[in-house]
Chain A
Amino acid sequence: MRHLEKPVVLDLQRPTNVAARIVGGVRSYAANALLVALLALAPFLFESHIVGSLTRGMIYGMAACAVGFIIRCGGMVSFGHAAYFGLGAYSVLIAQKIGLTEALLIWPIAVLVSAAASLAIGSLSLRTRGVSFIMITLGFAQMVYFVISSVQGLGGADGLGLQARNQIGGVSLESPTRFHFVVLALLLVVFCVLSRVGRSPLGMALAGIRQNERRLKALGYNTTRLQLTAFVLSAAITGLAGALAAEFYLYVSPGLLHWIVSGELLVMATLGGVTALMGGLFGALVLLLAEVLISEFTTYWRMALGPVVIVAVLYLRQGLQPALQKMLGGGRD
């Protein structure tokens, strides 16, 4: 057999490397691990309104990670993810209106609704690339916004409240702490899925498409179909986040579908770093933290948003997560 240049897999099989790998693994994931630990311990450390902010941060972070995922894998900048976020939320509202109260049933429905919408929108949008793609995703999202905000049965432009938070497996989610942990658990599942897909042949091909789509076609990849797959996966995750947002606010309004949400998700993803799996979560939490801190002093907290983003883009380049990672002395994930 020919001598191989030691692909990583061969190293894994060597027991002597296990200890080194664990140490290396902890170091390279230190920033992520610290953040997850903080989120897990938050209900025991902080007052309830801060825990609530963190729950909300995780929900938006989940959607932002999905937005970042298709930039990293597939090179698609979507300016229309509010549609999937909002559709997820409205699915919860409609499910409750027809009498469902089981989250294990309702949330998958929300995921499916968003995925189905993204399959239709994505297959049309992916006839374009670049700036046209950005604009066409925005256009479709605005269509969804106007259609839903004109349906009086769904509360029209004002939206409607939910009667109560749905139950999960018969267990009530009314307790904010319990809901916080459910959101955290789902977030970790999302990270596992995205990380796994990122390292798969599909993920590799998608990362290749971002770098040079023509080359990937020349290797025999049906690039549009692969991008559509990633787009639908991303929208499905965003739909789940939207469903969780509905449960969190206990209120669903067209505001969740508004293009500003698409913009905020993009800002969160970029701020946290699109090269990093958990970049969107970092971005979302920092943004919400800024909101909480600045709104102590002024209601015009959004004014600070611009400078924060400009500074981040100028000085962090790759985003927050990679910068923190570097500070903690680990490699890139």
Chain B
Amino acid sequence: MTEPVLQLRALTKSYGGLIVTDNVDLNVLPNEVHALIGPNGAGKSTLIAQIFGEITPDKGAVLWCGEEITRIPVHQRVRKGLARSFQVTSVLPEFTALDNVRLATLASASSNPSAFEVAAANLTATERAQTCLERVGLATRSNARAEALSYGERRHLELAMALALEPRLMLLDEPMAGVGSDESHSLTAVLRDLRQSCAILLVEHDMDVVFALADRVSVLVAGRIVASGSPAEVHEDHEVKRAYFGEEDVW
């Protein structure tokens, strides 16, 4: 059996009396798309933040290829091959699209950014950034400032930045949030392309997207994983229907 890139072991986090992550076990295999679904407030974003290192769990462990990374800082996790996108679009508004991605390619080129090289003169980084923009379909917008891009374009840009890090696992926190149906189609196509290069842990509300992409689905309710399995299995699971969707089948 292949070793998972990411394993969560009995991860627990609470804020005062509120348990936001309750004994979560989860793993992501290489080249797998693992979708994490659950109602609002289930603790999906908090879980992603713990995997990424922005929030420290109270108990349990995060394992990266078998190695414990529970308490190492964000930037070291990124160096190991973990990347994330944000639920609320998070790009650098004053930079051009190309510069946004170039920051990512420069980061992956060297852990210590040089102070005396001219950034624009690094042709390798520039070319790689351009390739990433092409892959998400933003090549023609590379010289536009990020603040001038449309909302959907910024979502694409965010994926290009994650892609430029050449990660082994991408944490995508609702990549479709707030985009129209046209953009949603093109984003799904981009995600389908991304899964060729890395494993993905996908938090998403849009069930069409989840069913189109996911190999496995886990359902998080009130901080606990209540079901996990293939999309079809999860769809049929009674507990899921009761806890998440009510008794009626809304799918």
Contact A221 B113 (CB under 8 A): yes
Residues of A within 8 A of B74 (CB): 217-218
Any B CB within 8 A of the CB of A49? no
Residues of B within 8 A of A295 (CB): none
Chain B residues within 8 Å of chain A by Cβ, number: 47
Residues of B within 8 A of A197 (CB): 115-116
Please choose the segment from A21-29, A52-60, A205-213 that sits at the chain B interface, where 4 or more of its residues have CB less than 8 A away: A205-213
Any B CB within 8 A of the CB of A317? no
Known interface pairs A197-B116, A219-B161; A214-B90 also in contact (CB < 8 Å): yes
Contact B116 A2 (CB under 8 A): no
Known interface pairs A211-B92, A212-B92, A218-B84; A201-B117 also in contact (CB < 8 Å): yes
Contact A220 B79 (CB under 8 A): yes
Contact A4 B126 (CB under 8 A): yes
Instruction: Point out the residue from A4, A218, A220 that lies within 8 Å of B127, measured CB to CB.
Output: A4
Contact A199 B118 (CB under 8 A): yes
Contact with A along B100-124 (1 / 0, CB 8 A): 0011101110110111111111110
Any A CB within 8 A of the CB of B136? no
Cα-based distance from A226 to B143 in the complex (angstroms): 26
Cα-based distance from A197 to B52 in the complex (angstroms): 30
Once A and B bind, how many residue pairs between them come within 8 Å at the CB atom? 113
Any A CB within 8 A of the CB of B31? no
Any B CB within 8 A of the CB of A229? yes
Chain A residues within 8 Å of chain B by Cβ, number: 31
Contact B93 A211 (CB under 8 A): yes
Contact A220 B117 (CB under 8 A): no
Give, as a whole number of angstroms, the nearest-CB distance from B80 to chain A: 9
Any A CB within 8 A of the CB of B203? no
Cα-based distance from A211 to B89 in the complex (angstroms): 13
Any A CB within 8 A of the CB of B95? yes
Instruction: Point out the residue from A216, A220, A229 that lies within 8 Å of B165, measured CB to CB.
Output: A220
Known interface pairs A2-B130, A204-B119; A219-B104 also in contact (CB < 8 Å): yes
Contact B115 A199 (CB under 8 A): no
Having A5-B142, A202-B113, A219-B78, one finds 4 other A-B pairs with CB under 8 Å, namely: A2-B131, A4-B130, A7-B123, A219-B103
Binding site for B on A (CB under 8 A): 2, 4-5, 7-9, 196-197, 199-205, 207-208, 211-212, 214-223, 226, 229
Binding site for A on B (CB under 8 A): 52, 54, 73-75, 78-79, 83-84, 86, 90-95, 98-99, 102-104, 106-108, 110-111, 113-123, 126-127, 130-131, 134, 139, 142-143, 161, 165
A-B contact pairs, 15 of them (CB 8 A): A9-B123, A199-B119, A201-B110, A201-B113, A201-B114, A204-B95, A204-B99, A204-B106, A205-B106, A211-B92, A212-B91, A214-B86, A215-B86, A219-B161, A220-B111
